[in-house]
Chains A and B, each alone.
Chain A
Amino acid sequence: MEVDKGKGEAEETRKVAEADRDTVTLKSSDGKLFEVSKEAAARLSTVLAGMIAGGSIDDNGTDLKQIGSEALENVVDYCNKHANSIPSAALISSSISFNTAPFKEPEEWERKFVDRLSHDALFDLVEAANFLGMERLLDVTCHKISEMMKGKSPDQIREVFNIKNDYTKEELEEIRQELAWAFYDD
């Protein structure tokens, strides 16, 4: 009985401590644990903000079964970097003159952040950002992928993204004729 009581008290103490903690623990599909600042998680992810507000954050690590450890590490890394970055003057001024624009150019550190990722990691991160409702990270990763497509021929895009050309010969010929203006002499 004594032991049980002690355990209950410990549980109680830990719960109080959890409420006061300024980090949350997230668990990847392969069981790895990551800590992230509660403030950054709530600010950058609508899904995590909802879980924190609704008290559904698990002290032993909130299960994110859809996200692998590499992607989750990048998500946490992004949140930490974001918390440390001071918005640049360029971002402030552009938000004044183009406050209706849906997309703001990535900042220097955000570019560097996505540039170092492998293609696998980038695509996993897009999906993770989408799942967690991280609008800014989604913008930055989608922007990176779109940049990788710009100015490339269909063959180059297929090669870079490992896409299988599943058009029939006839369909391809039809498309080439319809979109002849878009093809350089490749």
Chain B
Amino acid sequence: MASPAHWIAAAAPTTLPDELLEEIFLLLEAPADLARASSTCTAFRRVVSGRRFRSLHPPPAADFTFSFLPAPNDWRVCDALDARVLLRRRPGDAAAFADLVVCDPLHRRYVQVPPIPYDLAVSTGAPGMTLNCFLDPASEEKREDEDDVSFGVICAVHFQHKLVTFRFSSVTGKWRALTFDRELSLPTIHDVTLWSGLFKQQYVHGCFYWRIPGVYAIIQVQCTREMRLRQVEIPTVTYRQQKVFVEVGEGRLGLLVLHVGILDLYCKTLRDHCIGTEEWQHDRTIPLPKLDSTWSWWIVGADKRYVLLGAILLSRSWLQNPPAHYFTLDLKTFLFESLSVSNQLRSAYLYASFPPSLSLPSI
């Protein structure tokens, strides 16, 4: 780095013609870098806000590179719900409690979620491993007006053989332990990374569902009125298949299972959020869209209305970033719609019901 004396002597880039400043600013991919550069002097701002520059460098609708976070590359997306995204610091993956932030990628804001207090953790058992963190959909549903920016974060932690769940409320700014009507025993974990990958919550008709790795059952977690935990068997034909829980009509829990070339939908009736004892019913078989070559399908995620599926072309080398084709399945009509073709295989995430760009900040 040059000495301050040298900087004084340095040619100010403001003497560069606008076309060269444009060239330089075009290389600032992160919106935050561009914004900071444009606020240094009026000449820079004039170039950045000029029509010509804007046509070359359109402002992103939302910043999913999370460039507004400190050390943006250190974070991993845990969950996305409406306007908010929950992220977890990467080196903290192996730590007992994850370092969390909730952000609004549209308005480029974030709030830090405080760590779970040590005494609260100790009161529930020995320190454990964070399995799954997600934004509480129930607090979204309860929200009454647009100005309400409260949110909740739920964190599932594995304490030896027990599953312990904590909830953070942005209203109180505090974590509390969620106490259920029974304790849930879990098999001993040998590989936490494998577990946290499988242990992904789903939210259907006011309840969370977790799959238990190695056990052919799901956990239903009801946080609404009574705090209930239930273990639910799944049909044997769905073992070892990719599957996702979905809302199908009033009071029905759907289990969508991926087989070769088709999706099978199994249903169970819910009574007052409770799963009955009757068997799963096979509701329908949905053929996947026909793709001409060898495509391999996977289920990316689901929300209330849509299931996002991806397909990659297997005939090409993995090293070459094979093209991925994304489809949505509408759960009302059971029709597929082609969404996009992308080479960015790794980063697919379902951001459903994302707000339009003129909406108010959510945090």
Q: Could you tell me which A residues sit within 8 Å of B by CB distance?
A: 97, 103, 118-120, 123-124, 126-127, 130, 138, 142-143, 145-146, 149-154, 157-167, 171-172, 175-176, 179-184
Contact = CB atoms under 8 A, between A and B. Distances in A.
Given A123-B11, A142-B23, A181-B68, A158 B33 contact: no
Contact of B23 (A138, A167, A183): A138
B252 interface: no
B320 A97 contact: yes
B28 interface: yes
Interface of B: 2, 4, 6-17, 19-20, 23-25, 27-28, 30-33, 35-45, 68, 70, 107-109, 320-321
A152 B37 CA distance: 8
Given A152-B33, A179-B35, A182-B35, 16 more contacts: A118-B6, A119-B7, A119-B11, A123-B11, A123-B15, A126-B20, A149-B28, A149-B36, A151-B33, A154-B39, A160-B7, A161-B12, A164-B12, A167-B42, A176-B39, A180-B109
Contacts of A97: 320-321
B11 to A, nearest CB: 4
Contacts of A142: 20, 23-24, 27
Nearest to A171: B42
Contacts of B8: 162
B35 A163 contact: no
Given A127-B20, A164-B41, A181-B108, A154 B13 contact: no
A96 to B, nearest CB: 10
30 contacts: A119-B7, A119-B10, A120-B9, A123-B10, A123-B11, A124-B11, A126-B16, A126-B20, A127-B20, A145-B13, A146-B25, A149-B33, A150-B33, A151-B33, A154-B37, A154-B39, A154-B40, A157-B36, A158-B40, A161-B40, A162-B7, A163-B40, A164-B14, A166-B41, A175-B45, A181-B32, A181-B68, A181-B108, A182-B33, A182-B35
Nearest to A143: B27
A165 B12 CA distance: 12
Contacts of B25: 146
Contacts of B6: 118-119
A96 B36 CA distance: 34
A119 B8 CA distance: 11
A152 B15 CA distance: 21
Given A127-B16, A161-B12, A166 B33 contact: no
Highest count of chain B CB atoms <10 Å: which of A130, A175, A179: A179
Highest count of chain A CB atoms <10 Å: which of B16, B24, B38: B24
A167 B32 contact: no
A159 B50 CA distance: 24
Highest count of chain A CB atoms <10 Å: which of B4, B23, B35: B23
A48 B91 CA distance: 52
Contacts of B16: 123, 126-127
B194 to A, nearest CB: 32
